[in-house]
Amino acid sequence: MINVNKLRSEFPILSREVNGKQLVYLDNGASSQKPKVVIDAISNAYSNEYSNVHRGLHYLSNLATDNYENVRSIVQKFLRAEHEEEIVFTSGTTEGINLAAYAWAMGHLKNDDEIILSIMEHHANIVPWHFLRERFGVKIKWVDCDASGNLDPQAIIDQFSDKTKLVAITHMSNVLGTVVDVKTICHEARKRGIVSLVDGSQAAVHMSVNVKDIGCDFYAITGHKLCGPSGSGAIYIKQEIQKTMRPFIGGGDMIKDVFTDKVIYNDPPMKFEAGTPGIVQTIGFGVALEYMMSIGMDNIETYESELTLYARQKLEGLNWLNIQGKPSKKGAIFAFTLEGSAHAHDISTILDKQGIAVRAGQHCAGPLMHHMGINASCRASFAFYNTKQEVDKLLSGLELARDLLS
């Protein structure tokens, strides 16, 4: 079980005030706060252990290399991958998906081949595929969610054809909180020889992930949403897929040798990691994942499920508040608008004056916004360190916004 008060004490920023009010941080979908153990690890890495990795023979280089490379096994454990070499470090999910697009898709897809996406995708899982549409004539097929925000896996599967080469799907919508049955989709894709990529940016924060069970070929996560530093992340790439991929970026570390007339590439995962990496960011990422695993991802999911249910009971019955999407299986994410013409930015500003941090805008989900018929929404996204009392404060802030903007 989670002791939320103890956990909150481990996040220095949660004790501060904003605009004279106790901070209520509900922008976790954009980026989570950092526990002191992560902050201290980053400070220690720069203060006492910093050096470049892989290239040196001196003590600090070896120490930094060990600390950096040890994170690979931590990510492997977190995602339950079969092989440590299936973990490729990135600067976040965006780079991970672009890596898949450049290193795999550009070498395997051609004119009229199909990529299947859901309407709920984040721009990071849309724009790289538009590159292929623009440059190679690849077709993108879109699958809508229903009016409640549910995405039927069969609706995705029904779009599979002989021309389908890739299905790229979110595990949890960053706007609606919809939890997608990616296992059913990925297993059916594998039966048909279709490669599958899962955007795990949101889901990996809120639940236990097992990439072997899911059966995907790619699974991308980002460190800054997982209590780690920005500029950190990883993508799981199944070994058999790695063998069919070419390098994404050229430079140091991703080669074994370079000659005037040829290069010999390194083995995966180094083959896909060129140049000096985010050394300290990755070390901090590893500490963050260990911290979350020490709490227990199942414990986090259980606690957040209770918090989500409480928030749904408080918010969904209000006739002046429009909750965008009410899927049957939902993570701790709520996008909403007020009845009338109140703009999301005005709502967010009023909440901020009450010390309540939410996000306002399109949340990098333009196609979903167009599908829902709105230009923008506010989004309150919860983490395991949020409380029911903070849900109540959100409700009070929304009531104030309603009164001021009506």
Closest by CA to 195, choosing from 81, 111, 106, 94, is 106
Q: Which residue among the candidates 145, 216, 364, 378 is catalytic per the annotation? A: 364
Q: Tell me the CB-side half-sphere exposure of residue 278, using CA atoms within 13 A.
A: 23
Structure tokens at 71: 């994170």
Residue 289's contacts (CB-CB under 8 Å, 6 or more residues apart) are 71, 74, 75, 78, 226, 228
pLDDT digits (tens, 9 = 90+) for 344-367: 999 999 999 999 999 999 999 999
Structure tokens at 75: 């990510």
Query: How many other CB atoms are there within 10 angstroms of residue 314's CB atom?
Result: 16
Residue 55 in this model has a pLDDT that exceeds 90:
no
Instruction: Tell me the C-alpha distance between 323 and 338, whole Å.
Output: 9
Instruction: Tell me the C-alpha distance between 78 and 73, whole Å.
Output: 9
Is residue 111 very low, low, confident or very high in pLDDT (cuts 50, 70, 90)? very high
Instruction: Tell me the C-alpha distance between 37 and 45, whole Å.
Output: 12
Query: How many other CB atoms are there within 10 angstroms of residue 197's CB atom?
Result: 31
| pLDDT-above-70 percentage for the chain | 100
Instruction: Tell me the C-alpha distance between 26 and 223, whole Å.
Output: 18
> What DSSP element (H or E) covers 299?
helix 297-315
Mean pLDDT of 154-178: 98
Is residue 1 very low, low, confident or very high in pLDDT (cuts 50, 70, 90)? confident
Query: In a 3-state reduction of DSSP, which class is residue 9?
Result: helix
Is residue 317 very low, low, confident or very high in pLDDT (cuts 50, 70, 90)? confident
Mean pLDDT of 277-282: 97
pLDDT of amino acid 178: 98
> Hunting for tokens 């969610």 — which residue is that?
145
Residue 212 in this model has a pLDDT that exceeds 90:
yes
Instruction: Tell me the C-alpha distance between 118 and 342, whole Å.
Output: 29
Handedness of CA 141, 29, 296, 219 (dihedral sign): positive
Residue 109 in this model has a pLDDT that exceeds 80:
yes
Question: What is the per-residue DSSP string for 55-91?
Answer: S--SHHHHHHHHHHHHHHHHHHHHHT-S-GGGEEEES
Which residue blocks in 29-152 are alpha helix, DSSP H?
Answer: 36-48, 59-79, 93-99, 106-108, 127-136
Instruction: Tell me the C-alpha distance between 271 and 56, whole Å.
Output: 19
Question: What is the per-residue DSSP string for 229-287?
Answer: -TT-EEEEE-HHHHTTPPPSS-SSSSEEEE-SS-EEEPPTTGGG--SS--HHHHHHHHH
pTM: 0.97
Is residue 124 very low, low, confident or very high in pLDDT (cuts 50, 70, 90)? very high
Mean pLDDT of 181-197: 98
Mean pLDDT of 209-217: 98
pLDDT of amino acid 406: 81
Residue 48's contacts (CB-CB under 8 Å, 6 or more residues apart) are none
| pLDDT-above-90 percentage for the chain | 97
Is residue 341 very low, low, confident or very high in pLDDT (cuts 50, 70, 90)? confident
Instruction: Tell me the C-alpha distance between 112 and 186, whole Å.
Output: 22
Encode burial over 40-49: b for 16+ CB neighbours within 10 A, e otherwise.
Answer: ebbeebeeeb
pLDDT of amino acid 235: 98
Mean pLDDT of 268-272: 96
Instruction: Tell me the C-alpha distance between 178 and 323, whole Å.
Output: 13
Structure tokens at 299: 């414990």
Decide: 111 and 138 in contact? Cβ < 8 Å.
yes
Instruction: Tell me the C-alpha distance between 387 and 4, whole Å.
Output: 7
**Residue 143 bridge partners (DSSP):** 118
Structural domains in the chain, sorted by start: 4-30+296-405 (3.90.1150.10), 39-294 (3.40.640.10)
pLDDT of amino acid 121: 98
For the question of residue 145 being annotated catalytic, the response is: no
What's the mean pLDDT when you consider all of the chain? 96
Structure tokens at 214: 């899911």
Q: Tell me the CB-side half-sphere exposure of residue 19, using CA atoms within 13 A.
A: 10
Residue 56 in this model has a pLDDT that exceeds 80:
no
Structure tokens at 110: 């051609």
